[in-house]
């Protein structure tokens, strides 16, 4: 065999090895699915969608909740930690264990239970002569004066445990439109207005603390306008059977949350300085 042909054969063999090596390296370096941790309360677990995952807990997590929808859209691996009834202390104690430096996305709704919002609505729904004026006032005072520190603690822990994650805080909508369509839930027009004002205070407070930590914030009040309880197209359940479904987003509401959350996650949020 001539020397020129030997060189050609050797060169071809070397090229094949390079290509093969490239294929092996490429296969080994394929990026894993991003990690998404969903934290929070019933608004994040999916209460109100009427179908829940049998995971051995009472958290009422649903495949129709926005974290599940969002994880599918992002192609992310979901750690579904949100739990019905959760308060800030529950998030700190029970929900942060899967956060780490590799976490890509975090969402959270929290604060409503700390402010006793569910108990306030329950009181408002009682028949005359019961009223809920003092309960609403107490809730508003708590949101203004105590909740900011509780949120700061939670947000600090999220950032410490997931320093590279894009974090989005999901706010609560106003529930009422001024109409009464649930005859068994006696909530007056004035009480509905006061409860909506409480939702405004909660949204403003939560948005302010989220911004202080460099987190994104979903303000759902505008998008849910026209889809409150008693509107023609409801994204929120009124008084329901079972009662646990009441005053929570239905499946359409959870779809809207997913739509609102997605651009904030995909656009990214810069890592903050300590707040």
CA distances from 131 to 81, 172, 183, 190, 196 (A): 35, 23, 16, 11, 16
Tokens of 241: 């059977």
Is-catalytic flag, 93?
no
Catalytic choice (42, 62, 104, 246) = 42
| Residue in the block written with tokens 């974090």 | 167
Is-catalytic flag, 42?
yes
CA distances from 195 to 138, 191, 267 (A): 12, 6, 33
E strand intervals along the chain: 35-40, 77-80, 103-109, 166-170, 216-218
**DSSP-assigned letters across all residues of 205-263:** HHHHHHHHTT-EEE--HHHHTTSSBTSSS-SB--S-SSGGGTTSB-HHHHHHHHHHHHH
| Residue in the block written with tokens 């050797």 | 10
Coil vs helix vs strand at 267 = helix
CA torsion angle for 171, 89, 167, 228 (degrees, to 10)? -20
Q: What is the CA radius of gyration of the chain?
A: 24
Catalytic choice (4, 31, 248, 273) = 248
Which sequence positions are flagged as catalytic?
42, 248
């Amino acid at each position: 065999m001539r020397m020129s042909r030997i060189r050609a054969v050797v060169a071809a063999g070397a090229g094949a090895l390079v290509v093969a090596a490239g294929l092996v390296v490429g296969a080994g370096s394929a990026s894993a699915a991003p990690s998404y941790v969903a934290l929070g309360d019933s608004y994040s677990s999916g209460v109100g969608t009427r179908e829940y995952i049998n995971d051995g807990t009472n958290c009422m997590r649903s495949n129709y909740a926005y974290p599940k929808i969002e994880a599918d859209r992002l192609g992310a691996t979901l750690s579904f930690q949100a739990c019905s009834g959760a308060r800030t202390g529950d998030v700190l104690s029970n929900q942060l264990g899967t956060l780490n430096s590799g976490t890509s996305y975090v969402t959270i709704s929290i604060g409503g239970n700390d402010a006793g919002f569910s108990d306030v609505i329950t009181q408002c729904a009682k028949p005359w002569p019961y009223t809920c004026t003092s309960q609403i006032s107490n809730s508003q005072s708590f949101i203004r004066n105590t909740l900011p520190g509780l949120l700061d603690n939670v947000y600090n822990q999220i950032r410490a445990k997931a320093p590279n994650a894009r974090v989005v805080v999901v706010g609560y909508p106003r529930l009422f439109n001024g109409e009464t369509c649930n005859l068994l839930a006696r909530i007056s027009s004035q009480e509905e207005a006061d409860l909506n004002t409480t939702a405004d205070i909660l949204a403003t407070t939560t948005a302010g603390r989220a911004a202080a930590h460099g987190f994104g914030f979903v303000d759902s009040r505008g998008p849910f306008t026209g889809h409150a309880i008693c509107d023609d197209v409801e994204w929120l359940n009124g008084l329901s059977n079972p009662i646990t479904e009441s005053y929570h987003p239905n499946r359409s509401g959870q779809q809207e949350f997913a739509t609102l959350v997605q651009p904030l996650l995909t656009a990214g949020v810069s890592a903050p300085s300590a707040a």
